[in-house]
């Protein structure tokens, strides 16, 4: 949906990073991931390098009013987290963006925000380097493995 990097902060979970790598290997694209033990240190450094920080929260400005004002001409870190997000993030963030004012899925909030920020959900195009290709189908799934021999003898 427009992201090209994922930073897992706090406790390291190599399984998450391995899953992201597997998805990129299978479906292609230019996507990387890494772990940082200290989220605030990572974000402070990111801001010092000129990056913008967007914090998705229940308490920020309404997404439909603010997302179009966020410049996309440079790097953006989107902070998504649950109860463990440090309170200092509200001051450090350039934008505190509310995706509703009730508890919600962080994944859904990120998807909604990225769709608005990037001007809609990506179409059916395939990413370069994809091993698997998904073809739309009205009543099931069609997956083509580009590594399999398509001309069996």
Q: Provide the token pair at 86.
A: 């440090």
pTM comes to 0.79
- Return the pLDDT at 151: 38
- Which superfamily, per CATH, for 5-145? SPOUT methyltransferase, trefoil knot domain (3.40.1280.10)
Give which of 33, 23, 30 is closest to 131, Cα–Cα: 23
Residue 78 three-state SS: strand
For residue range 32-75, list pLDDT tens digits in order: 788 888 888 889 999 999 999 999 988 889 898 998 999 989 89
Give residue limits of the domains in the chain.
5-145
- Please tell me which residue, 100 or 152, carries the higher pLDDT value: 100
For residue range 79-117, list pLDDT tens digits in order: 987 667 788 999 999 999 998 777 777 888 888 888 888
């Amino acid at each position: 949906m427009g992201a090209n990097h994922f930073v897992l902060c706090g406790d390291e979970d190599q399984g998450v990073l391995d899953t992201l790598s597997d998805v990129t290997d299978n479906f292609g694209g230019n996507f990387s991931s890494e772990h940082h033990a200290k989220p605030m240190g990572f974000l402070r450094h990111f801001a010092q390098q000129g990056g913008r920080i967007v914090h998705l929260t229940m308490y920020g400005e309404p997404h439909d009013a603010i997302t179009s004002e966020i410049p996309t001409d440079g790097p953006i870190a989107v902070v998504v987290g649950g109860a463990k997000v440090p309170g200092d993030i509200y001051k450090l963030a350039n934008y505190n963006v509310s995706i509703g004012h009730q508890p919600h899925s962080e994944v859904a909030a990120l998807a909604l925000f990225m769709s608005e920020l990037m001007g809609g959900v990506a179409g059916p195009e395939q990413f370069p380097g994809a091993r698997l290709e998904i073809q739309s189908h009205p009543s099931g799934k069609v997956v083509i493995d580009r590594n399999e021999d398509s001309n069996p003898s």
